[in-house]
Amino acid sequence: GNSVTQMEGPVTLSEEAFLTINCTYTATGYPSLFWYVQYPGEGLQLLLKATKADDKGSNKGFEATYRKETTSFHLEKGSVQVSDSAVYFCALKGQGAQKLVFGQGTRLTINP
């Protein structure tokens, strides 16, 4: 079945550091890929998405590129802020499917 594997956390960085959170997936066909963010005490918010190979999703300074050859969708940000502290989830939706399959999440803490 479809699955998502994320970089183990927690990740702690200083403000303005470069961020990478790795995500790889296993799926048949052409899934859609997503990053969701969960701030403390809140539900999930869609951060960015990509629906086909080589697509780059971007939002709020975050970027991720759908790499079919390496089955990856790594999240990056050039300069993180304290307000980026949250849990980040990589997820996929199989071709034609309605449900999301999530990774285990990566807790990110940014120190001033």
- For binding to another protein (CB under 8 A), which residues are involved? 4, 6, 32, 34, 36, 42-46, 49, 51, 89, 91, 93, 95-105
Q: Which is nearer to another protein, 35 or 84 (CB)?
A: 35
* Smallest distance, another protein to C-beta of residue 84, A: 19
| Side-chain half-sphere CA neighbours of 11 within 13 A | 22
Q: CB of residue 108 vs another protein: minimum separation in angstroms?
A: 14
**Which runs of E-coded beta strand occur in the chain?**
3-6, 11-14, 19-21, 23-26, 32-38, 45-50, 56-59, 62-65, 75-77, 86-93, 101-102, 106-111
Whichever of 27 and 103 has its CB closer to another protein, that residue is 103
The nearer residue to another protein, 15 or 53, going by C-beta atoms, is: 53
Coil, strand or helix at 83: helix
